[in-house]
Structure 1
Amino acid sequence: MVDGMTTTANGGLDTLVLGRRIRHLRTGRNMTLDDLGAAIGRAPSQVSMLENGHREPKLSLLSQVAEALDVPLSELLRTEPPTRRAALEVELERAQRGPLFASLGVSPVKVGRSLPADALEALVRLQAEIQRLLTENAATPEEARRANAELRQRMRSQDNYFPELEDHARRLLAAIDHPGGPLSQRATADIAAHLGFALHYVPDLPHSTRSVTDLAHGRIYLPQGNPGTSDARSPLLQAIASHVLGHAEPKDYGDFLRQRVEANYLAAALMLPEDGAVPFLQEAKAERRLSVEDLRDAFAVPYETAAHRFTNLATRHLGIPVHFMKVHEGGTLHKAYENDGVKFPADPLGAIEGQPVCRQWTARVVFTLPDRFTPYYQYTDTSSGTYWCTSRVQPSSQGAFSVSVGVPFAHVRWFRGRETTERASSRCPDPMCCRQPPTELAERWSDKSWPSARPHASLLAALPVGVFPGVDTTEVYRFLDRHAPTQG
């Protein structure tokens, strides 16, 4: 392969850009199609097909073309179109050959010199706007539920363990000579500096963001005081993770979810490194004292981070299937993971987010306790087996949430809290379990009450639109303009 070769995403020659470069060089030398065809021993029609991007030539033919045009071969293979108009022509040609135009049933426009520049510009802008509107329309609650279900299936298939992300974390920690144990705030800043970023804590971070990265100037902007997070390291590590993993603008909501999961995973792998957390957990298992609280305390992280990290490592390194739940105090499931056979409430699409959780499950019972902030342990008999869970409540700006980790009864012998006598029975999804009120209460109040619901906004509208759902892009760009270093 020639260095700098104009290629497509799949590695082949980008024939559209190549063709425009050949045409630009030919006309600049006042050569006709006949002239160039005669010079390379090809018919003018074949040269025209080459310039219109309808064939991928062999390197030997390109060498002949370069020689006939009196330019180095590298000049033909440069990656950018030769002019602004050529760039627009390439973009329109690509669009017309893509699935969007095919699905619309629109006849293609001949892209040639006779097409006025303003018409060309308008067609390209129109195509981009149609694509944007289709992308926004795809971001419906149904699309979000499908994307969540697909992502959860992927996580289950690999036991929520991502070896490539563990490797990234290991290399970053080695680069700053991290000695092991908890990752300090200073060590987190050292990782950012190693990657070439300076940290700026500002009072006016856009309200729809946790951090903003200025790739042009090597800056990461963070809020002063880190409001809305229980760990000051988390927003910075997630920003670092997105950069390290090369995340680009999400193509759709599924891509957005994948990127978020990867960034959260890598951030947690930095705070609880595999090389330190696994021996800690293996020793605890050997002594039958596994505990999410102990993992949290050993690595100085929030409880939810420790619970997530336990699910990453438990099956792969301890041989323990596990489930995780985060449930709002209103009783709805916020997010969850399982590879132990537990049956989460789900809609017909297989989505679990927003579904009501059985009142008998540990994740709901913990809200009824006078002491919400001490770990609570419970056995629950369900239609899919008996599970032991540990759960605790944590506050947030959206209300209180319970965070729970559970395992099948056969694996409880490895955990602290297994001696609990708390036990419940759940028959959900049988509506008689907890979704329908007892007959006596229903008879007393069913026609004498009218509750005014407080639904989540997400139940009433589609997902926030935009490249990054919920982010005000204009606000972000104006923020960057305010804070960018002035040019000397």
Structure 2
Amino acid sequence: MSPLRVAALEPLSEQNAPEAPGRRGLDALSVGRRIRHHRQARGLTLAQLGEAVGTAQSLLSQVENGKREPRLSLIGAVADALGVPAADLLDPAPPPTRRAALEIELEQAQRSPLFRSLGLPRVSSSRKLPLDALEALVALHAELARRHDASNATPEEARRANTEIRLLLRAVDNHLPEIEEVAEDLVRAAGYTVGALTHRQVARMAHDLGFTIIHVDDLPHSTRTVTDLANGRIYLPPASIPGGHGLRSLALQAIAHRVLGHERPASYTEFLRQRLEINYFAACCLLPRSAAVEFLSAAKADKDLAVEDFRDAFGVTHEAAAHRLTNLLTSHLGIPVHFLRVGDDGALYRGYENDGVPFPQDASGAVEGQTVCRQWTARTVFEVRNRTTENYQYTDTPAGTFWCSSQTGSTEGGGFSITVGVPYAHAKWFRGRDTRVRRRSTCPDAACCRRPDVELERRWADAAWPSARLHAQTLAPLPSGRFPGVDDVEVYEFLASHAPPPGHHLTPPPDPR
């Protein structure tokens, strides 16, 4: 299945798409190696070819080694002397022999900034270098580059990529119509009409793609789901993952990779893009656009929009409903909005805005991991005793006044809050707009909430010696498998243990209808 083109995210592909071996386009080294191939095939020395075209041997040597770009007149003369069309020397297709391709790869690897940073001597890819040695050197350089790329999948790289994605999404109001259309068609084909998407309908969607959903209790620790492409199986855990990943959502995310035509991610940015797309697809299926917009439009007409009603109407988590609002409120109801997931330590884990709310940011513009103002609803909600329903608050900020609704939850890692908010002028459409709770935030001014009380600081500044809690994820490297963050050993051993025995006749998955 060809990849689905999502227009808003195309800049990511253009900036981060890796070059495929043999498809790098025309360059001086490729031209030079083609000249060398045809020269040697005709048994000519550099001196003989130079004499035939009226060019110095040293110049031809530089051309063949890619150190000098030949003029078109020289290309024409060399082609005539070698008895080949000039187009053959300029062809960007893969080199004519395996050795020529390896020689080009080795030369390009040794010209890379990564190799130069090692301070190692270059190895000449002359005919004296045995083919097996050439193979080994190219493989070593490829592995060196892979490990370098894997080491770059650090929190810093993740923040950079997340920031780029967040800005692209803000420009389109977090709405991806291409995925909306695909999801709508699939859920309707599975029998969905209104309300919550059922597990049975999700199973039908998987069946229509040739997959059976199987629940197991021994999934690899580094995975949420595993798909066996050879045997048409999607393995899921036996129960929902704490913090919001329900079984329907997990199954839909696994299905999304097939539906959207994903290929193995070649960069960390591509991995994050795919994760965004599968999460978006799952949300579109669980809260289909047509039914969701109809529900929200009716609530807006009654001036009674509420995350909890939206959540209950479609049988999803509070976070899923809140985040889905960011896809639909602006694009279909004309309401700018912001969303936050904040830990009970004040750290911002997920954030989106197109309404101007001043998110805390680091120097690169990233918001992940930044500390949210103590006066914001996302923090003050932890002070509220009654957390069974949504809590509402107006907050005055340097960027204006915002109305917000927050709800709390918990995972094994601690508590968190989910917040949806809008500018003051749009609070009129929401339940809870009559709240009298109001706070004032002057962040990023340190005097707002990040500077301690003067008297307390005087008393304790030289008397306190706390031991900071280290967040393990800040130091733990990601497993460097074929997919970022996934342990290949665990995954392959898992698939082998669950696969049908050799020679087993595969039958189509049963129709859940």
Match of 1:263 in 2: 278
Map 1:63-462 to 2 at 5 A. 92=106, 95=109, 114-228=128-242, 229-460=244-475
Cα distance in structure 2, aligned partners of 1:296 and 1:414 = 17
| Letter in structure 1 aligned against 2:173 | D
Do the aligned residues in 2 keep the contact of 1:141 with 1:462 (CA within 8 Å)? Answer: no
Do the aligned residues in 2 keep the contact of 1:139 with 1:465 (CA within 8 Å)? Answer: no
Q: Give the number of aligned pairs.
A: 453
Match of 1:69 in 2: none
**1:365 aligns to what SS in structure 2?**
helix
| Letter in structure 2 aligned against 1:355 | Q
Compare 348-357 and 251-260 and name the one that shifted more.
251-260
Compared CA separation, residues 164 and 451, structure 1 to 2 (3 A): same
Cα deviation code 1:63-111 (max 9, x no counterpart): xx9xxxxxxxxxxx9999987x787567547756877668879887665
Compared CA separation, residues 230 and 242, structure 1 to 2 (3 A): closer
Compared CA separation, residues 354 and 316, structure 1 to 2 (3 A): same
Compared CA separation, residues 95 and 378, structure 1 to 2 (3 A): same
| Letter in structure 1 aligned against 2:192 | H
If asked which structure has higher relative contact order (CA below 8 Å, sep 6+), I would say 2
Match of 2:488 in 1: 473
Compared CA separation, residues 147 and 121, structure 1 to 2 (3 A): same
Do the aligned residues in 2 keep the contact of 1:321 with 1:339 (CA within 8 Å)? Answer: yes
Cα distance in structure 1, aligned partners of 2:418 and 2:96 = 53
Compared CA separation, residues 78 and 442, structure 1 to 2 (3 A): closer
| Letter in structure 2 aligned against 1:354 | G
Cα deviation code 1:434-471 (max 9, x no counterpart): 11222232233333332222132233456564443332
Cα distance in structure 1, aligned partners of 2:100 and 2:416 = 55
**2:489 aligns to what SS in structure 1?**
helix
Q: CA deviation at 1:377?
A: 0.4
Do the aligned residues in 2 keep the contact of 1:200 with 1:219 (CA within 8 Å)? Answer: yes
Compared CA separation, residues 107 and 248, structure 1 to 2 (3 A): farther
Do the aligned residues in 2 keep the contact of 1:222 with 1:235 (CA within 8 Å)? Answer: yes
TM-score (norm 1): 0.81
Compared CA separation, residues 473 and 113, structure 1 to 2 (3 A): same
Match of 2:500 in 1: 485
Compared CA separation, residues 459 and 315, structure 1 to 2 (3 A): same
Aligned-residue Cα RMSD (Å) equals 3.8
**1:316 aligns to what SS in structure 2?**
helix
Compared CA separation, residues 119 and 79, structure 1 to 2 (3 A): closer
Do the aligned residues in 2 keep the contact of 1:390 with 1:406 (CA within 8 Å)? Answer: yes
| Letter in structure 1 aligned against 2:458 | E
Compared CA separation, residues 196 and 359, structure 1 to 2 (3 A): same
* Ranges in structure 2 where 5+ consecutive residues have no aligned partner: 1-19, 45-52, 54-63, 84-91, 504-513
TM-score (norm 2): 0.77
Cα distance in structure 1, aligned partners of 2:144 and 2:227 = 29
Cα deviation code 1:322-369 (max 9, x no counterpart): 000000011111110000000011111111111111111000011111
Cα distance in structure 2, aligned partners of 1:91 and 1:128 = 9
Do the aligned residues in 2 keep the contact of 1:268 with 1:305 (CA within 8 Å)? Answer: yes
Q: CA deviation at 1:405?
A: 0.2
Match of 1:68 in 2: none
Cα distance in structure 1, aligned partners of 2:499 and 2:259 = 22
Do the aligned residues in 1 keep the contact of 2:25 with 2:93 (CA within 8 Å)? Answer: no
Do the aligned residues in 1 keep the contact of 2:479 with 2:487 (CA within 8 Å)? Answer: no
Cα distance in structure 2, aligned partners of 1:288 and 1:448 = 54
**1:389 aligns to what SS in structure 2?**
strand
* Ranges in structure 1 where 5+ consecutive residues have no aligned partner: 1-5, 35-42, 44-50, 66-76
Compared CA separation, residues 361 and 214, structure 1 to 2 (3 A): same
Cα distance in structure 2, aligned partners of 1:470 and 1:188 = 27
Cα distance in structure 2, aligned partners of 1:214 and 1:371 = 45
Cα distance in structure 2, aligned partners of 1:231 and 1:461 = 27
Compare 429-438 and 298-307 and name the one that shifted more.
429-438
Do the aligned residues in 2 keep the contact of 1:308 with 1:324 (CA within 8 Å)? Answer: yes
Compared CA separation, residues 232 and 146, structure 1 to 2 (3 A): same
Match of 1:3 in 2: none
Do the aligned residues in 1 keep the contact of 2:348 with 2:370 (CA within 8 Å)? Answer: yes
Cα distance in structure 2, aligned partners of 1:175 and 1:97 = 53
Cα distance in structure 2, aligned partners of 1:234 and 1:262 = 13
